[in-house]
Structure 1
């Protein structure tokens, strides 16, 4: 029998999105001067531009790239890139988890791209990205939020390639370095990694992406939220804080708090190091725990953010499929009820699993305290008490 641990995490927030707020976060840290003001006022626009500028600085975005705030979270930003740039030539959409498969469905069923190749892999695997023709536009997810599998490198993208590269980086930025020179449209959301309030996305465009947008008019109609052009040219005001529709200034100020915190601890390099250290704690524990295995077999493809694990062993494998699926769900539910850990059950479409967020806003000590509780809950499940 495993004894119930004595210590609980001080901040039991392990969700993979929205993720944990930065340490020390509180409502009184939010600047309220823009509340109740127009987002087009001098103050409102300056705060939106400040959020853009801080994002650029922290992420090391090249000076000739554009950074803008988009509606609809990462989904809105990524679909805007797809709707405005794809269809000019052959395209490949690569996916190895739930959200990447959404982009496949967009390409197949919504845009109905005539010259489309789909690359898919099971949860925990990465497809053969080197097989993608360099002339093709490509859409891919840098880090599989629901599978824990990330790309190992960008060697499969040749510098100066003809096609545009659209990168869904929502659970990778601020945790993994982006190879900006090989990326043309990169998107992410405020609620992932930085733990900010949701509903807003970021769109980062290279000069090649701008050229594609300005030289190409897609065959399909564009909703207002995807219209990046004005008078046949890219509307650069969008990348100076003049958003397409009304943003939440409260969410904007919350994002700024997270950005300033990251800046105060040493910027993105410090965020990378925190995520790496957190993930190592979890992955080392998985390796030492006989009834668990990492969902991603290849260590080079294992994320340092949403670490996913599945169960194994004689007892677990003797259960029916329904009972197997109940094990991680019951463990997560029990520990949530005890205020030990929130929202770390695996994604609903993924194999039965647990997923612990290890991004930079999570403290090492809280992760260390969570793991013995999972061991205790697993023992309770084996004993029929969970």
Structure 2
């Protein structure tokens, strides 16, 4: 799809213009936007009573957008803390409302998620928020929490499009684009329409879901190139067989890599098995002094981006949709050779 974008960069479908040049109000771009939304709805099975918004500011912008759109001053909401991104969402929400942390995985060193059925939503909570996948810690929810009549809100940035997701279980799903959707900066927010119309008066228009829904996400000039590229990625996912096929492919990649780690006395994964991420796989070596040599040797072998996040160290393989299983096999082969040389 990058090559497709390259071929259309200076002349989109005979228009004589780049997507970057055309007006966002033009018939050409309106068709690009509508096509991307239609594909998103089709792939995820988004019901008609949900709005699909293409916004700016990434998922971090929605850390404020969620409380500002769903609560009045003095309200409270429930949050689950499973790691770095949950903490950031909680810290931002505390600017606007009383945050009740109903589960905190600190005791597990953020290596797990709460047991299914254990979450209790406090009376009066406007919503329950959780991070579906923690990219830094490699922790992922294997289930969708039950919240009764309380709207369920999730940051699905690093799992969206990786497998089917029952949108009807959620009040709000938001996802930064840069993992499985497209370029950074854009965020897709899917909102059940009965939750629109409650934004606080001071909510910036850029993150006011109602205003954006009424303007088809074009209250101002949107990130047109990013929106177009997301549309191409959605088309690519369709070509791969949709989300069922993506799930099979992603499961196979994760099982291959975790199998190599678990079958080794040299490598280890700190996450409890039931909460392991399909997308982000952290792993450790016996001696931290070997981490830099591992990352350097891997880069020399053509395997990049394997350094763990600075806050946790170790190594981390992110195996998003675009990574083929051949790439994971190449990593496993390298890990085997590195262990032989350093074990």
What's the TM-score once normalised by structure 2's chain length?
0.86
Q: Is the 8 A contact 1:134 1:157 kept in 2?
A: no
Give the aligned partner of residue 343 of structure 1: 305
From the superposition, tell whether residues 208 and 165 of structure 1 become closer, same or farther in structure 2 (CA, over 3 Å). farther
Q: Is the 8 A contact 1:188 1:203 kept in 2?
A: yes
Residue 224 in structure 1 maps to residue 205 in structure 2: yes
Rounded to whole Å, the distance in 2 between the matches of 1:247 and 1:82 is 23
Cα deviation, 1:280-319, whole Å, max 9, x if unaligned, reads: 1101101111122222123x2212111222234xxx2xxx
Residues 289-300 of structure 1 aligned to structure 2 (within 5 Å): 289-298=264-273, 300=274
Q: Is the 8 A contact 1:71 1:244 kept in 2?
A: no
Give the aligned partner of residue 16 of structure 1: none
Match 1:103 to one of 86, 89, 92: 89
Residue 272 in structure 1 maps to residue 259 in structure 2: no
Rounded to whole Å, the distance in 2 between the matches of 1:170 and 1:329 is 28
Give the aligned partner of residue 333 of structure 1: 296
Give the C-alpha shift of residue 226 in structure 1: 1.6
Give the aligned partner of residue 37 of structure 2: 52
Give the aligned partner of residue 41 of structure 1: 26
Rounded to whole Å, the distance in 1 between the matches of 2:104 and 2:48 is 34
Match 1:63 to one of 48, 73, 79: 48
Residues 184-223 of structure 1 aligned to structure 2 (within 5 Å): 184-194=171-181, 196-210=182-196, 214=197, 216-218=198-200, 221-223=202-204
Residue 163 in structure 1 maps to residue 125 in structure 2: no
Q: Is the 8 A contact 2:103 2:119 kept in 1?
A: no
Residue 183 in structure 1 maps to residue 167 in structure 2: no
From the superposition, tell whether residues 329 and 127 of structure 1 become closer, same or farther in structure 2 (CA, over 3 Å). farther
Give the aligned partner of residue 151 of structure 1: 141
Rounded to whole Å, the distance in 2 between the matches of 1:252 and 1:42 is 15
Match 1:246 to one of 221, 227, 243: 221
- Three-state SS of the structure 1 residue aligned to 2:174 is strand
Residues 79-90 of structure 1 aligned to structure 2 (within 5 Å): 79-87=64-72, 89-90=75-76
Q: Is the 8 A contact 2:137 2:282 kept in 1?
A: yes
- Three-state SS of the structure 2 residue aligned to 1:311 is coil
Cα deviation, 1:166-199, whole Å, max 9, x if unaligned, reads: 11001111113323222111011222124x2211
Give the C-alpha shift of residue 120 in structure 1: 2.0
Rounded to whole Å, the distance in 2 between the matches of 1:78 and 1:71 is 13
Give the aligned partner of residue 303 of structure 1: 277
Number of residue pairs matched? 330
**Aligned Cα RMSD in Å?**
2.5
Rounded to whole Å, the distance in 1 between the matches of 2:191 and 2:221 is 21
Rounded to whole Å, the distance in 2 between the matches of 1:346 and 1:25 is 32
Rounded to whole Å, the distance in 1 between the matches of 2:246 and 2:256 is 16
Give the aligned partner of residue 4 of structure 1: none
Match 2:103 to one of 119, 142, 147: 119
Cα deviation, 1:213-261, whole Å, max 9, x if unaligned, reads: x2x3538x3223222345xxxx5334x3x42433332222222221111
Q: Is the 8 A contact 1:75 1:201 kept in 2?
A: no
Gaps of 5+ in 2: none
Give the aligned partner of residue 132 of structure 2: 142
What's the TM-score once normalised by structure 1's chain length?
0.77
Give the aligned partner of residue 27 of structure 1: 6
Rounded to whole Å, the distance in 2 between the matches of 1:26 and 1:41 is 19
From the superposition, tell whether residues 61 and 288 of structure 1 become closer, same or farther in structure 2 (CA, over 3 Å). same
Q: Is the 8 A contact 1:77 1:202 kept in 2?
A: no
From the superposition, tell whether residues 84 and 198 of structure 1 become closer, same or farther in structure 2 (CA, over 3 Å). same
